[in-house]
Amino acid sequence: MSSSISWRKLVQKFRKLGFDGPYSGGRHLFMKKRELKVIIPNPHHYDISKGLVAEILHQAGISSADWNKI
């Protein structure tokens, strides 16, 4: 996994993995794949850190290997 990723690239990669969205849901946005709902950070001017991406992937049940294939 790279050191950080832009919000736009994060959303694009989740869409390639079959997720829909992002949808608004209170304070944060989320993306859905069937019953699975993954909370993602709101868009901002800074890249999303490697640690936060790792937490989001863990929440979604996506391995680093699968994420890096995209």
Domain limits, the chain = 4-69
- Report how far residue 21's alpha carbon sits from residue 24's, in angstroms, rounded to the nearest whole number: 9
In this predicted model, what pLDDT tens digit does every residue of 20-67 receive, in sequence order? 999 997 888 999 999 999 999 988 888 999 999 999 999 999 998 999
> What pLDDT, on a 0 to 100 scale, did the predictor assign at position 19?
96
CA 28 to chain centre: 12
Q: What are the structure tokens assigned to 21, written together?
A: 């969205």
Please write down the long-range contacts of 61-68, taking CB distance under 8 Å and 24 or more positions apart.
61/36, 62/17, 64/1, 66/17, 67/1, 67/13, 68/1
pTM of the prediction?
Answer: 0.88
Superfamily of domain 4-69: Hypothetical protein. (3.30.920.30)
* pLDDT higher than threshold 60 for residue 2: no
